[in-house]
Each structure stands twice: as structure tokens, then as C-alpha cells.
Amino acid sequence: MKKLGFIIAFMVALLIAGRGWLPPEAVAQQPPRPHIVYILADDLGWKDVGFHGSDIKTPNLDRLAQAGVTLEQNYTHPWCTPSRAALMTGRYPFRYGLQTLVIPSAGTYGLSTDEWLLPQALKEVGYETALVGKWHLGHADRKYWPRQRGFDYQYGPILGEIDYFTHSAHGVVDWYRNNELVNEEGYVTTLLGQDAVKLIGEHDTDTPLFLYLAFTAPHAPYQAPEEALEQYANITDPNRRAYAAMISVMDEQIGQVVEALERRGMRDNTLIVFQSDNGGPRSAQVTGEVDTSGGTIPADNGIFRDGKGSLYEGGTRVVALANWPGQLKPGSVADQPMHMVDWYPTFAALAGASSDPAKPLDGLNVWPALANGENIDRDAVGFDVEPLRAAVHSGDWKLVWKTALPSKVELFNIAQDPSEETNLAYQNLRIVAELKQRIEKMAGEAEPSLFLTEALGAAKSLLFTSVALPEDAEAIENQP
């Protein structure tokens, strides 16, 4: 009987470890299953936080960074929808057709229902799962909505960018709680923070919690409450002033969330991760309707080239931190490539959850790197694989390949040239060939781009739709 009990205990320890067989000492070092609070900013510039030297006030994020780990080579995709899909699946978006741009308001597609999402995996092992904030992974059909994809609770916009005061997108209110339209007043960022605090306050602390808090800030339109704008009266550029105020309001709400965890006695067993979904925009073309006549595009990506929508570092390297008291060393730095796809296997390992064995993850469990500074054993990081462009990062090298005519191949040594100023492709043809081969392999595994498929279908419909000529008008009018 004792032997049977030992076998059961050992198997449970292996399940919690979530990494197959481990030696007894490694199993003993596995931390307890944490509450997980994953906080995502929208279009935040890499330098636009205090702990990266910004004049924008982010005291709560600064404290989390100082007491935890800053991730200095944390990568995403260059657009919102692909990055969020990578988080939810642990798999590159090209595998299910979400590699191109974002799902537009007229889009009818969404994240494939064949994918086994992170909240589904966590829910299966006893987690309560909640999304407070932006979804943007499918809105036209409710089968794509968060409550249908593993979240016990949902509050916020289903689509993408939203007016911060009217809660509307393109003139239509996009504000829901558990699939029901909500008409209420308030500033979006504050409402999201308050709802997260309320959820934590009502949570059964004996049940592990996965809270995905996805702010829309500081995505355009650049809007902030008057009291927040007054903090930055010294900034003359109206867009930068509003952008700074938006970030400070978000930071304030993050502070309220941390305090809520402390009040409930959950803080010491909560892993908090914060990051942006892509780099800050550096062009009006990727921000939506922004008036630049009296101001600039306000995001600052520091030394990194370009911004949102670009495959350069400014579009894909994002601000990020992780904090868990007693488990992550205060003031430490993780300075090796990590990617959005890594959070799924990392959270799953800590929770004792599993992924779909039929669809292997692209991400890696990076917990040993965060907790102990161990090197991540990975061949490459893929930023994007699309029909017209792609980028991959392997070791110190990064290849950016634009296949649309006129085509362009760029190779950068990111370790020596993080600003991507010097193209070394012609001096390193062998490396270029190797990285191109990696991209071709991934492209061979890609599903057709749903954005392009739908766009081409719409264009074809327009091209071949019969149009009445003026002389036919009377005949058409007289048809029965």
C-alpha cells in the first residue's frame, strides 16, 4: 500500500512539473502552482516606461521591474492579432492563417477553433480563467469569442481599437461582459482596471486564477482624462501629452491590481507578467485615424529601428517584465531571445497543464531562464512568415527578407548592431542561405493567410460583379 502511495505521489509530482521525467531534486524545486496575471499593453513603445529611462511616469511598473526580472530581448509579432494568437496558442500564427496584419472590422474569420488555447489548457487543470480587456481574435461569429474559447469570464471589447470614452469602434459600441453588450460610462483603461480589481476581490483564493488583463492603452486614438493630461502640461506636443497620460493611467490601474492581490493574500503566490503586444508605432499608417498636423506619432522605441508593423527591432522587440516574490530574483535581467509563443508552455508547465499533442508548440518553457538565468536552447525565433515578407533570428543573426518586387534581403548582427544600421548580407552569403532555408521550411508548413484570402475574395467579387451601364438603366428599371 505504501508503495502504491509513493507511485501516485511521484506521478503527481511529474504532472505538476509538466516537463516529463525529472530527477527528484528538480521536482522538489518546482514552485507551487501560481495565480497568473498576464498584463498586455497595446502599442507601447519600448522606451516609454520609467525603468527604460522615459520621462513618462510609471512607478508601479518600475517597482515590479525592480523587484523582478526585466526581459531585454522579448519578441512579438509586428501586429496585434498575430501576437495575441501566438500567446493563446503557443504556436506561430502562420500555422493557422493569422500571419498577416490584423482582423479588420469587416473580417469574418478568427482564430481557428481547432487550436487548443491557453485558457482551455489551464481550465482543464482547475484554473479559473478571465479575460479583462481586448480580444481581437475573431468577432464576426460568436464561436471565436473568448467565452467560447476557454474563458470563464470576459469583459471589454471584442474587436480592436476603441474610443476611450464612447467605447465604440467605427461608430458601433464594442463593449461586452460575458457575451452581453454593456452600455456604461467611463474611461476604458480605468474601467478595465476596476473590473480586474473587482474580479480579484471576489475570487476564491483556494482556486488558481489566470487573469489576462489586456489594456487597449496606449493604442490610438490618443485620449486621456483631463486630470491625467494635467500631469504632463509641460509636454507641448498634444499627441505625446495624451499618450503619456494614457500610459500613466494604465500604470495606476496596474498598481490597483497589485494592491488587490495583496489584500486577498494572493500576491506571494502570483506570477505577474507585463509586456506590449508589438512595438510602438512610428508611422501614421499603422495607428488608425491620428491627427499629426499639430503633433507627432508619440511612441518611442529607443535605439530600435522603426516600429509597429515593421519586422525590424522597433516593431518586434518589446518592453517586458516578470515578477513573482520569492521565486524570481529582484533586479535580475533576462537578456536572451524570448518570444510571445513561449508564455503558453511556460504557464502550462507551472500549472501542470498540457497542450494538444497533435499540434506541437513552437514556444519553449522559459521558466528556468527567468528563475535561474539558464540559457534557452533554441535554434531560432520566427518573427513573421508571410507571402511577401519574413524575418528570423538565430544566435546573433537576424534576417529580414522582403520578397515583393523589388525584393530585398538584409542581415544584421543584432548583438553588435541592435539598431540594425548595417546590412551584412553580402559579406555573409552562407548565413543568409541558411536563414532563408529556415524561412522556406516554415513557409512550407504555413496555412494560407486568412486576411489575404478574404481580401482577394472581396476584390474578385468587385471585379466580376455585373455593373449596369447608363444606357441599360431604363431596361433594368422596367424589369419585373
Active site residue ranges: 80, 136
Q: How many CB atoms sit inside 10 A of residue 443's CB?
A: 15
Q: In which region does residue 368 sit, left (phi positive, over 0), alpha (psi from -120 to 50) or beta (all else)?
A: alpha
What's the longest Cα–Cα distance across the chain? 94
C-alpha cell belonging to residue 476: 433594368
Residue 335: C-alpha distances to residues 74, 325, 358, 379 (Å): 8, 20, 32, 16
Give CA torsion, residues 157, 161, 166, 170, to 10 deg.
-110
CB 279 within 8 A of CB 318: yes
- Residue 89, Cβ density class (10 Å: 0-12 exposed, 13-18 middle, ≥19 buried): buried
In angstroms, rounded to a whole number, what is the distance separating the alpha carbons of residues 435 and 143? 38
Identify whether the C-beta of residue 352 lies closer than 8 Å to the C-beta of residue 16. Answer: yes
Measured CA to CA, the distance from residue 117 to residue 356 in angstroms comes to 9
Q: Which of 250, 239, 247, 51 has its CA nearest to residue 133?
A: 250
Round to whole Å and give the CA distance between 279 and 266: 31
* Residue of 124, 150, 125 whose CA lies nearest to 135: 150
* Distance between CA atoms of residues 418 and 459, nearest Å: 40
Residues across the chain: 480
Place of cell 455585373: 466
Residues 6+ apart with CB under 8 A from 230: none
| Phi, psi angles (nearest 5°) of residue 353 | -100, 170
Residue 64 phi, psi dihedral angles, 5° rounding: -65, -40
Question: Ramachandran region of residue 181, left (φ > 0), alpha (ψ -120 to 50) or beta?
Answer: beta
C-alpha distances (whole Å) from 130 to each of 119, 178, 425 are 8, 10, 46
SS3 18: coil
